[in-house]
Each structure stands twice: as C-alpha cells, then as structure tokens.
Amino acid sequence: MKSRNFIDKKIEAPLDAIAATSQGINSNNTPNQNTNTFGMHFAPHLGLLSPDKGMFRHHAGDNPVEQIHFMAQQGFTAMEDNWMAIRPVETQVAIGEALKDNGMKMGVIVNTMRYAEPTFVLNTKIERERLMQEVRDTAKVAQRVGAKYVTTLSGTAHPSMHRDYQTANMIENLKWAGEVAEKEGLVLAVEPINHKGWPGTFLTEIAHGYQIAKAVDMPSVKLLYDFWHQQIHGGDLIENLDAAYDQIGYFQIADNPGRVEPGVGEINYAPIVKRIKEKGFNGIIGMEFDNSHDGKAGEQKVIQAMRDIDPA
C-alpha cells in the first residue's frame, strides 16, 4: 500500500474502535489483561518497511490502537513506529492515549526524513537551520505520542570531502540540533546503519558513532545501537556494547540474515540482552524486524522468540 493510500485509510479509521479501546477495552469488549509482563522493555512496531504492516496485524487487525492493546495483552511494555510522522494527527493522538491507557512507553519515531543525500556532514548555514527545524517538526509529533527518543541518521557521505572534516561537521551540526532537542525534551538517537542496504551512508559503525556522540557530549544526543546493522558491518556485538555503553540511549534488535526475529539466524541474542540487563539498562529495546513466518502463527513465533531471550 502506498503512503498516500495509507494516510487516506487511516483518516477514515474506525473511530468507534478507537473510542472503545481508549478505555482499555478491545474490539470484543474484553478488558485488556496482562498476566506475563516482559522483564525488558521490548518494543514491537506498527510497521517496519510499510506503515500498514504492523507486527501483530493478523491478531489485532489494521487499527494501530488495537495493535497496541494486543501488545499490552502479550506483556509488552513499549512500542515503536518508523512511520509516525506520516500518520494523521488524530491517529497520533489516539496512539498516545492508547499507550497511556496500557502503561506503555513510546519508543523511537523517525526524525531524519532525508537520509539518501549529504546532510549532517555539510558545513552550511542553510543545512544547519534545516536540521534544527526538522527537530522542531519532529517534536510536535513526539508530543502527541509521548516519544522521547527520535531516530537520527547521518545522511550520505560527501563525495569529495575528507572523512575527518565530515566527522567534525556532523559533531557541530549535532550540537546545534541537540540544543533544539533539549529544549523540546527529546533525545536524538543517532543510528549507524550498514552500507549494504544503504550504500553511501556516512555513519556505519558504532565506534565512529561513539566518537561523534562523545565529542558532542550532550544528554540530548545519544547512540541508537542496532545490533543487526552492526552484525552486518563489523560484528563484535558485545565488545562494542561494552565499549560504547556510556553513549548508548536506545537499542534495536533483529536476527541476520533476513532481518527477522531472534533465534532464526546467526546472532545469539540471549547473552546480549543479558549483558544489557546486567548494565542496569531500563530503556527500550526496539524489535525492528519482520516476522519470519506469515499469519497468526508467525506472530506467535515472534512472541515466543522474545520470551526466549528475556532475562530471568
């Protein structure tokens, strides 16, 4: 489904269902009950590569509010959404209310909508002002849904500028954008992403991201450590976790290959999540992956996979 069609559909979303669920009641008029809460704040999503492909849509239907209630019923205490900025305002408000009703945290929403061209690596007043305004615009969405962390990507590398100058420019731009974020109550979650899926991306390694975040030295600028991206680009997942931990504000997980739930691929997530817990992390771990199997059975596999890696 194209984004325009999605927006049109959500504008026409069943408001009676939203009204019912705002009282903690699902579409079957059954009170939401949570009998087995996860120990970590794992966050399912409302759509990974498409805004209408929610992780639990086969159980809960297309209404994002119903999906949130289903997440809560399964014991999840957080949720994230890459597509929040394009959802209608009334849907954003309903999502925020549903999260409050269920005592859930809002995970990351996306801040940087331009990531396939040089942005943070530039040293121009025009680009710096655009980056600052982007944070202000994101803050309006974040306020409606209760988000604090906003995914922030570096954009691509400049084709003819030395990497060190680009790094210095990104540090300076993040300081300016970080000041805006601090005023708005946000944290820029700076995410290194792999160059296989996003060719030309400037920031691809956790170590480089750590260098930048450390130099910025602001509580409103932290790293988003996505283990799937790091596995593709360099591995050493726990070593990088330990080395960069003081600058990490948010985690995301997916198994590789395929960007699917833990237990399907090559990454052993149980010791990774255990290490995160041992460090005293009480933040959100985003489930940024597709289900490896379709339908309700595939969704149940995802829930079990998260049970399997949740530390006792």
> Which residues are bridge partners to 79 per DSSP?
106
Note the pLDDT of residue 113: 82
Alpha helical stretches, state H, 146-185: 163-184
Architecture, CATH, for domain 107-253: Alpha-Beta Barrel (3.20)
> In this structure, are residues 171 and 215 in contact, taking their beta carbons and an 8 Å threshold?
yes
Tens digits of per-residue pLDDT, 115-153? 899 999 999 999 999 999 999 999 999 999 999 999 999
Note the pLDDT of residue 256: 97
**Cis ω on the peptide bond leading into residue 257 (within 30° of 0)?**
yes
pTM of structure: 0.89
Note the pLDDT of residue 20: 43
235: CB partners within 8 A, 6+ apart: none
Using CA atoms, how far apart are residues 172 and 195, in angstroms rounded to an integer? 23
Q: Which residues of the chain have pLDDT under 70?
A: 1-35
Note the pLDDT of residue 14: 42
Task: State the DSSP code for 32.
Answer: P
Please give the mean pLDDT across all residues of the chain: 91
Note the pLDDT of residue 114: 87
Note the pLDDT of residue 174: 98
> Which residues are bridge partners to 241 per DSSP?
none
166: CB partners within 8 A, 6+ apart: 121, 157, 158, 202
What are the extents of the domains in the chain? 107-253
Note the pLDDT of residue 189: 98
